[in-house]
């Protein structure tokens, strides 16, 4: 088990953000792997739930999307969207979410809507889905990004989901009284946000990845002075991810 | 109206239901979510009847929406998400239609759209939320001023208001209610009395149905009045919210129906591929929609072997071990 | 079956207002009798429902209040208050309701809250319950009143539920776009409301009741020029009410 | 928090649950409706613990509310209806307390109060309705300006606003959200994992629970995790909304619990009678609340013969042919 794939590192690193007792909003793909692995490895009392209304299902097989029948079996509750989003923002819960994006800016704001002009875009993406909602309402969220220069931008083509908005206390001034973006997990590294300015900085680089490579692939200037190497996936983490979470490698893909 | 035997007279055919309730220009809400419980048989029938200029309102939609857009039935769209999960991260015909400027569209989020349906269901003109503050959902509009003046279209995309219950600064987004002309949905069970029961997740189907002026329901099974009323806690809609009911087994294929059948990964993958090419997509429609005159013919084309593979386990409600790549 | 009680006349007369296909909001007491009798006699396709969330229950025994377990058996749907009140105001339904009151004014506005000063009342009643809501939202409502002078007043001590408000088109100007009070069914007569002015007038007097007696017992001046005699309960109406609706005479009381 | 076996650690006793979550001054929402599913065992325990100055928020409440008011636990009330149906058209201690000026109160309607709980559950600060226009509910306030400044009390009773989505005159009532400190409710089933299932009508229990900062649930039966999760469509609340769970069979007596037992007409009639007289009512409390140290003692006092008479039919969920006058 010496080697591991990029997406395995990403899922495991992201999963480490889940704390026991967290109520975790789960999306498709890597987010599903991270949440399922995180619960199994670090946070047995975490509750996974889906925007479609499935609360704490047994997840014996990995769902391919959030409306997959596999989020309806063995659940505590099968409900609907209204119920789910009211959980996301519930004051008595620590809710965290995983989101993906096509573009991200230095304050962790996300674009999942389009590239180019909104009305006649060069490329159209699916849209917000629940991303705008959980970015606004959850206690915090973590972003998955493919680490490419064009995805880390000074100005988003469309601001779908609010992270730290314009930095400093601008998120709170918007009227969003809690939450914000906790970290960005890419295929090269982990970015976090300065506590005061809320600007993105390099927090961790994966084993074998140089800081130069990260800087080269990031379209915005970032502080790298605080970077440390990420603890590599342990054998146990890899075993659970591969054998328990996605044994069919439906999301992990070929070895 | 002679329903005093407790049995409804609303049972009809796909053809009649669509003909009676869906017109070119109608505002239509679609039940289900991405690849689950899409009213596919109804979508195919809408295409076959050549209905045009639909104004679709939805949260996260996938297969039914995409095939309607691809067949040219859709003029206008209010949407939060157009995708099929791993089977199409962005729905292809949806993407192309927007990139080509073929439809008028406006983006909201899933919670926003669900709340808008809830407001419609409650009969209130708007509903507040914190979601959207700071997002381009607030700043970028897609509808023209003319569109905003059309019947049953919200006059404004949304409104930001200071919370009148506090002196602190506290901006709130007000979302306009949605009241579709028609909601189409697929359920597992309908009673002979017209009561609807959905198993598994309900998504926003119930809100969508209550918000609408007319509701068409397709279902896997018609069950007796006594059965559906032996546990009323499990039911979702009383008969008076439903206007037409059609029994259509496998009416959601290639999407899933909890407890009955799983989504069809091969079909969805095939669809995504052909959707990329205009000519191939036209052939797909000819083959799977125009070329078939009934849902039974459609199922024969799907084939019994596939249907058996997709069959849900009575324990888990999905097809255990289904090849899903 | 020649004789009948006042409350039998009231229940039957009120029940005659139910049209086939109506969706009927049912309260306690006489309202329950009227609705159950009306459905059985004149409107087999009417749907009875309760603010508590019981939609079209079988009502094999008469409920003693709207949260009675008897409104949960054999229903189409067991839901809750939010669902029920959203039915009351639903644009595609003709919803009618039966309400009782302690006071009524000439425009059919109702008081079920208190007599005297609101903050320190002489007599306190239960309050609105769902009355204010259905008066505002239903397609129309019918009021049951004990016919006493002090109950028909120029000015309500508290306006709980809006009828025709201040008459003419004042209800619509308030912002209530449909509905209003259809009739008042008392133990002596039936009052209706002028189509233009929305003022209460005597529409029917029960067999054996003189117009003088009605005027004497009404605390406001009413037009009696349009009054006709009410068709007495038929044997069939009485039979259904007594034998099918309330055979235990739980609400009808002693013969 | 070591719940990774899927079993909750929230099971406790009436005494502990009340001690931990309900303080003098707490804002409390009560589940049930008039004579159904009132959390009576919890109400009695609150009285026994001598908790004072409660601020109760409710739609239509009967027995639990009235006994709490009668025992002097309630300082303040937001309410739509205080009654027990035919067993007390107006609840007696409620009526007396208001007529004597003993409690601060404010009237809303049932839909208004339910919508306020819904707004609390959705985490939105207010919710619109048309109900109330023209009514004295809009014009007559009961709370003092000081009360309005207290923590967790709405700053205004309600606000009338012009609908910003239309140019026509269209006034709308905005109701402030309710977010009780504690919601107490009685359910039929709770799973060993903490999942709550209510059978029959849910009234506004689910909204009340989600709107609250803490939730105490009493239940008739604790069932296995596997059982409660074998049909998640029927469940009402996931474990994380519930803070304390106590198994209390007949915990709603003398009110009803669908599928388990009917209301107790004799007890309710007796209660109404004694409630009319201060001395008699004091004796009632001594006899039925203070004089009993546990719910088991209470049930012994009710007596097995009565409990058998009240037992619900498994077919209808109520006691067929029960003497109810």
For the stretch B117-137, pLDDT in tens is 999 999 999 999 999 999 999
**Where exactly are the structural domains of chain B?**
2-128+179-310
Other beta carbons within 10 angstroms of residue D142's beta carbon come to: 18
- Gap from B296 CA to chain D (nearest CA, Å): 30
pLDDT at A17: 97
Rounded distance, CA C75 to CA B226, Å?
Answer: 10
Q: Select from A77, A83, A86 the residue whose CB has the most chain D CBs within 10 Å, as the one to mutate to test that interface.
A: A77
Mean pLDDT per segment of 10 residues, for chain A of length 255 residues?
A: 86 96 94 95 95 97 96 98 98 96 98 97 97 98 98 98 98 96 98 98 98 98 98 96 94 91
Q: How many CA atoms, within 13 angstroms, populate the side-chain half-sphere of residue C173?
A: 7
Rounded distance, CA C158 to CA B4, Å?
Answer: 41
Q: Which of A71, A79, A160 is facing B135, going by the closest CB pair?
A: A160
Give backbone dihedrals phi and psi of D101, rounded to 5 degrees, phi first.
70, 30
Rounded distance, CA C125 to CA C102, Å?
Answer: 8
CATH class belonging to B2-128+179-310 = alpha beta
- Gap from C134 CA to chain B (nearest CA, Å): 13
Q: D197, D188 in Cβ contact below 8 A? A: yes
Q: Which of A6, A8, A51, A229 is catalytic?
A: A51
Contact D200 C78 (CB under 8 A): yes
The separation between the first and the last C-alpha atoms of chain A, rounded to the nearest angstrom, is 11
- Chain D residues inside the 8 Å CB shell of C69: 36, 200, 256, 258, 262-263, 312, 316-318
pLDDT at A2: 57
Closest CA to B254 of B47, B55, B44, B50: B44
Give the chains touching C; criterion: ≥3 Cβ pairs < 8 Å: B, D
Other beta carbons within 10 angstroms of residue B146's beta carbon come to: 8
Asked if B168 is an interface residue toward chain D (Cβ–Cβ < 8 A), one would say: no
- Gap from B101 CA to chain A (nearest CA, Å): 6
CA distances from B229 to B234, C44, D315, D319 (A): 9, 18, 12, 19
- Gap from D65 CA to chain C (nearest CA, Å): 12
3-class DSSP assignment, residue B281: helix
pLDDT at B114: 98
- Chain B residues inside the 8 Å CB shell of A118: 136, 140, 142
CA distances from A228 to A183, A209, C232 (A): 15, 11, 92
Asked if C55 is an interface residue toward chain B (Cβ–Cβ < 8 A), one would say: yes
Give backbone dihedrals phi and psi of C132, rounded to 5 degrees, phi first.
-55, -40
For residue range B24-61, what is the model confidence (pLDDT) as tens digits? 999 999 999 999 999 999 999 999 999 999 999 999 99
Helices and strands, number each (H, E), in chain A: 7, 14
3-class DSSP assignment, residue A217: coil
3-class DSSP assignment, residue B47: helix
- Gap from A191 CA to chain B (nearest CA, Å): 22
- Gap from B223 CA to chain C (nearest CA, Å): 13
Whether C and A touch, i.e. at least 3 CB pairs below 8 A, reads as no
Q: A67, A42 in Cβ contact below 8 A? A: no
Q: Which of A47, A92, A137 is facing D213, going by the closest CB pair?
A: A92
- Chain C residues inside the 8 Å CB shell of B121: 86
Q: A96, A87 in Cβ contact below 8 A? A: no
Rounded distance, CA B39 to CA B28, Å?
Answer: 12
- Chain B residues inside the 8 Å CB shell of C82: 122
Rounded distance, CA D160 to CA B107, Å?
Answer: 30
- Chain C residues inside the 8 Å CB shell of D89: 126
Asked if C74 is an interface residue toward chain B (Cβ–Cβ < 8 A), one would say: yes
Considering only alpha carbons, which residue of chain B is nearest residue D201?
B233
Average pLDDT rounded to a whole number, residues B295-303 = 97
Closest CA to C251 of C63, C56, C67: C63
The pair of three-digit structure tokens given for residue A80, joined into one six-digit string: 């609907």
Q: B73, B46 in Cβ contact below 8 A? A: yes
Q: Which of C8, C51, C204, C237 is catalytic?
A: C51
The single residue listed with the structure tokens 């923590």 is D151
Rounded distance, CA B26 to CA B28, Å?
Answer: 6
Rounded distance, CA B182 to CA B88, Å?
Answer: 27
**Where exactly are the structural domains of chain C?**
6-100+128-145+162-210+230-245
Q: Which of A21, A72, A76 is facing D235, going by the closest CB pair?
A: A76
- Chain D residues inside the 8 Å CB shell of A45: 1-4
Rounded distance, CA A23 to CA A43, Å?
Answer: 10
The pair of three-digit structure tokens given for residue D283, joined into one six-digit string: 């004796």
For residue range B187-238, what is the model confidence (pLDDT) as tens digits? 999 999 999 999 999 999 999 999 999 999 999 999 999 999 999 999 999 9
The separation between the first and the last C-alpha atoms of chain D, rounded to the nearest angstrom, is 49
Q: C74, C57 in Cβ contact below 8 A? A: yes
The separation between the first and the last C-alpha atoms of chain C, rounded to the nearest angstrom, is 11
Instruction: Please check the confidence at residue B1 and state whether its pLDDT lies above 70.
Output: no
- Chain B residues inside the 8 Å CB shell of A105: none
Contact B80 A129 (CB under 8 A): yes
Whether A and B touch, i.e. at least 3 CB pairs below 8 A, reads as yes
Considering only alpha carbons, which residue of chain C is nearest residue B8?
C45
pLDDT at B7: 79
**Residue A186 forms beta bridges with which residues?**
A145
Q: Which of D1, D121, D238 is facing A55, going by the closest CB pair?
A: D238
Please count the residues of chain C: 255
Provide the H-helix boundaries in chain B: 14-21, 40-48, 63-70, 92-99, 110-122, 136-139, 145-148, 205-211, 225-228, 265-275, 278-285, 295-302, 304-310
- Chain D residues inside the 8 Å CB shell of C88: 111
> Does the ipTM surpass 0.90?
yes
Q: Beta strand pairing status for B214-223 and B182-191?
A: parallel
Question: How far does Cα D239 stand from its chain's mean position?
Answer: 19
The pair of three-digit structure tokens given for residue D130, joined into one six-digit string: 């048309």
Give the chains touching B; criterion: ≥3 Cβ pairs < 8 Å: A, C, D
A212 is catalytic: no
- Gap from B92 CA to chain C (nearest CA, Å): 37
pLDDT at D7: 79
Considering only alpha carbons, which residue of chain B is nearest residue A74?
B316
Considering only alpha carbons, which residue of chain C is nearest residue D66?
C126
The single residue listed with the structure tokens 């613990």 is D49
Average pLDDT rounded to a whole number, residues C15-39 = 95
Contact B155 D166 (CB under 8 A): yes
Tens-level pLDDT at each residue, chain D (325 residues): 344 567 789 999 999 999 999 999 999 999 999 999 999 999 999 999 999 999 999 999 999 999 999 999 999 999 999 999 899 999 999 999 999 999 999 999 999 999 999 999 999 999 999 999 999 999 999 999 999 999 999 999 999 999 999 999 999 999 999 999 999 999 999 999 999 999 999 999 999 999 999 999 999 999 999 999 999 999 999 999 999 999 999 999 999 999 999 999 999 999 999 999 999 999 999 999 999 999 999 999 999 999 999 999 999 999 999 999 8
Q: What's the pTM?
A: 0.98
CATH code for the part of the protein at A6-100+128-145+162-210+230-245: 3.40.1080.10
CA distances from D123 to A88, A215, D118, D210, D214 (A): 10, 41, 8, 9, 15
pLDDT at B8: 83
């Amino acid at each position: 088990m010496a080697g591991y794939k990029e997406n395995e590192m990403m899922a495991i690193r992201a999963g480490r953000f889940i704390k026991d007792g967290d109520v975790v909003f789960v999306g498709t793909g890597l987010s599903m792997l991270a949440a399922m692995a995180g619960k199994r490895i670090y946070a047995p009392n975490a509750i996974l739930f889906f925007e479609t209304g499935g609360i704490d299902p047994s997840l014996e097989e990995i769902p391919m999307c959030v409306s997959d029948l596999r989020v309806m079996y063995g659940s505590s509750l099968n409900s609907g969207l209204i119920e789910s989003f009211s959980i996301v923002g519930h004051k008595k819960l620590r809710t965290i979410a995983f989101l993906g994006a096509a573009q991200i800016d230095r304050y962790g704001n996300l674009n999942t809507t389009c590239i180019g002009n909104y009305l006649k875009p060069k490329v159209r993406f699916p849209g917000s889905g629940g991303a705008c909602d959980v970015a606004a309402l959850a206690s915090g969220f973590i972003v998955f990004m493919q680490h490419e220069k064009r995805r880390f931008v000074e100005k988003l083509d469309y601001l779908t989901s609010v992270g730290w908005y314009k930095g400093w206390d601008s998120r709170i001034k918007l009227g969003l009284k809690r939450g914000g973006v906790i970290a960005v997990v890419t295929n090269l590294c982990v970015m976090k946000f300065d506590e005061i300015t809320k600007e993105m900085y390099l927090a961790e680089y994966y084993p074998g990845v140089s800081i130069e490579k990260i800087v080269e692939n990031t379209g915005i200037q970032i502080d790298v002075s605080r970077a440390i190497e990420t603890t590599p996936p342990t054998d146990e983490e890899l075993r659970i991810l591969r054998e328990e979470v996605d044994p069919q490698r439906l999301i992990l893909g070929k070895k | 109206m002679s329903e005093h035997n407790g049995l409804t007279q609303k049972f009809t055919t796909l053809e009649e239901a669509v003909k009676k309730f869906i017109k070119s220009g109608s505002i239509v809400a679609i039940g289900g979510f991405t690849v689950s419980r899409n009213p596919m048989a109804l979508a195919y029938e809408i295409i076959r009847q050549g209905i045009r200029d639909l104004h679709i309102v939805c949260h996260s939609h996938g297969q039914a929406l995409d095939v309607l857009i691809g067949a040219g039935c859709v003029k206008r769209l209010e949407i939060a998400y157009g995708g099929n999960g791993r089977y199409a991260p962005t729905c292809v015909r949806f993407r192309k239609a927007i990139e080509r400027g073929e439809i008028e569209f406006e983006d909201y989020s899933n919670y926003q759209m669900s709340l808008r349906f809830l407001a419609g269901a409650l009969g209130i003109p708007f509903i507040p939320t914190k979601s959207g503050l700071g997002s381009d959902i607030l700043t970028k509009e897609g509808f023209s001023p003319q569109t905003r003046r059309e019947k049953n279209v919200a006059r404004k995309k949304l409104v930001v208001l200071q919370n009148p219950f506090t002196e602190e600064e506290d901006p709130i987004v007000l979302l306009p209610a949605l009241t579709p002309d028609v909601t189409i949905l697929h359920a597992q069970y309908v009673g002979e009395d017209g009561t609807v029961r959905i198993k598994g997740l309900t998504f926003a189907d119930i809100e969508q149905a209550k918000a609408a002026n007319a509701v068409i329901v397709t279902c896997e099974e018609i069950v007796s009045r006594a059965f559906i009323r032996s546990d009323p806690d499990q039911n979702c809609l009383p008969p008076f919210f439903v206007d037409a009911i059609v029994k259509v087994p496998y009416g959601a294929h290639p999407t899933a129906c909890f407890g009955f059948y799983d989504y069809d990964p091969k079909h969805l993958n095939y669809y995504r591929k052909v959707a990329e090419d205009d000519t191939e997509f036209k052939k797909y429609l000819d083959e799977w929609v125009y070329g078939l005159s009934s849902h039974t013919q459609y199922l024969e084309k799907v084939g019994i072997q596939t249907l058996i593979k997709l069959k849900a386990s009575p324990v888990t409600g999905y097809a255990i071990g289904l090849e899903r790549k």
